[in-house]
């Protein structure tokens, strides 16, 4: 019986074992940050209005309103970059108050600097503005002191999802973390079983921090696995050079330390900007291409009366399975659900419409829906079918680094595709070339690079290896 879910596990197949999926606290934090932004804006306005009323005897004193509305964009810009709105700021009110005051003082200094050079200082009352800043500082500190009290009362002080995986290593306890047994869930870091990796990926979904306690000989394997799933991961105590540790963490009240072995490829701001880019581009593409999508759907249905879409299980972020959508390009009875046979030139399984949509990459367009669902991204490593092979070897048998490409969401297009690495993987080099490009993309991600890859993709939609 599992301690977390209470579900019996013995009779379940490994890929069917029930597992806990943590609720997404990230959305809760984002909503809290947004609320704090609004409250800060309201408090600063109230402070400057009150200052005008106290010193000038005028409510809604125009010059104070101009001053605070000019300062707010600068304040928010500084605050977003100095972690005024961050996970630590939700639980450590001293840190949060200090960062908010720094943002307030710097924005006031910049406002004064601009006013000096534009010779508009004389238009503002120094006493009234100074009083507004003092009242703003008091209000900001008071709000920061209140936030952890509210979080403790309504969220039991929990702003992060923490998971401890006990794989037979040194004892490790954290009062605000869930603990599971690797043996109970049949988690083996040395295994390349995609069903086990999918199960682990779903268990780590929404986790903000994962700590693994395991024997010496399994720590390197766990370090690699945590990097592959794209989570922030720590391993209880081990030499740095073997695990590729990026930092050391010591927990209060414990003799043991942990080594930080993975931090995930993208920070919160990067994930937000990438997701917004995906939604904007995918939404616009779906609207613009809807006549083409409808026409192709009609032609596929007209040719043989079979289903319009081909749904295939692929490996996605965190090595989790998802159902990828494509326009069906093969005859129904010859569809290859596992992708065990790569498509080749003059492939006898391809329909007439299928040959055209594969040459022009139109068969991939339904994946726009996958992007809007959140299964995929516009740009990222292309997802592969479970049975995909290179030189008769499964992809992960060619190179174990293959699993690391799944720490980001798979993409409609990617760096490998714009470099011409497309088509069948007949030789091992066909895979390793793609893998090298995928890992390069992950390590050097930027929004600008995503835009460049999208623009370059337009030039390679029709490609000699697209068949």
pLDDT at 6: 37
CA distance 93 to 78: 18
Q: CA 347, 351, 352: angle at the middle one, nearest 5?
A: 110
pLDDT at 269: 82
pLDDT at 241: 52
Coil vs helix vs strand at 309: strand
E-only strand ranges, 86-224: 162-166, 178-181, 209-213
Q: Is the pLDDT of residue 237 over 60?
A: yes
CA distance 187 to 200: 7
Q: Is the pLDDT of residue 409 over 80?
A: yes
CA distance 20 to 320: 15
Helix axes 126-155, 62-81, angle to 10 degrees: 50
pLDDT at 8: 35
Question: Between the CA atoms of 108, 91, 200 and 405, what dihedral angle is there, to the nearest 10 degrees?
Answer: 20
Residues of the chain with pLDDT > 90, as a percent, come to 53
CA distance 20 to 158: 17
Count Cβ atoms within 10 A of the Cβ of residue 126 and give its class: 0-12 exposed, 13-18 middle, 19 or more buried. Answer: exposed
Beta strands 257-263 and 232-236: pairing type? antiparallel
Count the neighbouring beta carbons within 10 Å of the beta carbon of residue 84. 27
Residues of the chain with pLDDT > 70, as a percent, come to 85
Q: Is the pLDDT of residue 10 over 50?
A: no
Q: Which residues pair with 209 in a beta bridge?
A: 162
pLDDT at 176: 77
Q: Average the pLDDT over 357-378 and give the result.
A: 94
Lowest mean pLDDT among 53-57, 104-108, 268-272, 343-347: 343-347
CA distance 80 to 143: 17
Q: Average the pLDDT over 319-341 and give the result.
A: 81
Q: Which residues pair with 330 in a beta bridge?
A: 350
More confident of the two residues 179 and 176 = 179
Q: Is the pLDDT of residue 255 over 80?
A: no
The confidence band for 119, taking pLDDT boundaries of 50, 70 and 90, is low
Lowest mean pLDDT among 131-135, 171-175, 372-376: 171-175
Which residue in this structure is represented by tokens 């997802």? 383
Q: Is the pLDDT of residue 345 over 80?
A: no
Nearest alpha-carbon partner for 427 in 396, 390, 400: 390
Average per-residue pLDDT for the chain: 85
Burial track 15-49 (b if 16+ CB lie within 10 A, e otherwise): eebebbebeebbeebeebbeebbeebeebbbebbb
More confident of the two residues 261 and 39 = 39
């Amino acid at each position: 019986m599992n301690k977390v879910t209470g579900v019996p596990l013995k009779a379940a197949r490994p890929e069917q074992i029930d597992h806990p999926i943590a609720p997404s606290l990230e959305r809760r934090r984002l909503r809290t940050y947004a609320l704090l932004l609004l409250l800060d804006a309201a408090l600063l306005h109230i402070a400057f209005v009150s200052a005008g009323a106290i010193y000038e005897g005028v409510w809604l004193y125009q010059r104070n309103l101009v001053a605070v509305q000019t300062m707010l964009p600068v304040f928010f810009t500084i605050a977003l970059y100095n972690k005024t709105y961050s996970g630590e700021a939700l639980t450590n009110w001293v840190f949060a108050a200090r960062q908010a005051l720094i943002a307030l003082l710097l924005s006031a200094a910049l406002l004064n600097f601009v006013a000096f050079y534009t010779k508009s200082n004389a238009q503002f009352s120094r006493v009234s503005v100074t009083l507004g800043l003092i009242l703003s500082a008091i209000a900001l500190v008071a709000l920061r002191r209140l936030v952890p009290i509210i979080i403790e009362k309504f969220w039991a002080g929990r702003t992060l999802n923490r998971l401890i995986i006990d794989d037979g290593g040194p004892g490790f306890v954290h009062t605000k973390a869930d603990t599971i047994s690797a043996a109970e869930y049949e988690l083996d870091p040395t295994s390349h079983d995609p069903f086990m990796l999918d199960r682990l990926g779903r268990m780590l979904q929404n986790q903000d921090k994962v700590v693994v306690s395991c024997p010496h000989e399994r720590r390197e394997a766990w370090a690699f696995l945590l990097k592959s799933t794209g989570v922030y991961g720590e391993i209880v105590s081990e030499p740095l050079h073997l695990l590729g540790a990026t930092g050391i963490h010591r927990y209060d009240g414990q003799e043991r330390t942990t080594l930080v072995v993975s931090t995930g490829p993208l920070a919160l701001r990067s994930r937000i900007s990438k997701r917004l880019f995906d939604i904007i581009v995918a939404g616009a593409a779906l609207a613009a291409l809807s006549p083409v999508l409808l026409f192709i759907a009609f032609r596929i249905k007209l040719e043989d009366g079979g289903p319009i879409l081909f749904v295939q299980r692929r490996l996605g972020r965190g090595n989790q399975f998802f159902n990828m959508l494509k326009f069906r390009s093969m005859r129904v009875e010859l569809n290859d659900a596992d992708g065990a046979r790569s498509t080749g030139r003059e492939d006898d399984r391809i329909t007439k419409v299928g040959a055209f949509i594969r040459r022009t990459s139109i068969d991939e367009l339904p994946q726009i829906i996958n992007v809007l669902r959140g299964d995929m991204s516009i740009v990222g490593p292309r997802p592969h079918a479970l049975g995909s092979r290179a030189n008769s070897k499964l992809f992960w048998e060619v190179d174990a680094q293959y699993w690391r490409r799944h720490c980001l969401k798979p993409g409609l297009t990617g760096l490998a595709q714009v470099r011409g690495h497309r088509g069948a993987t007949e030789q091992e080099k066909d895979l390793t070339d793609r893998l090298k490009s995928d890992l390069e993309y992950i390590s050097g991600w930027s929004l600008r690079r995503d835009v460049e890859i999208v623009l370059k993709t337009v030039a390679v939609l029709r490609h000699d290896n697209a068949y």
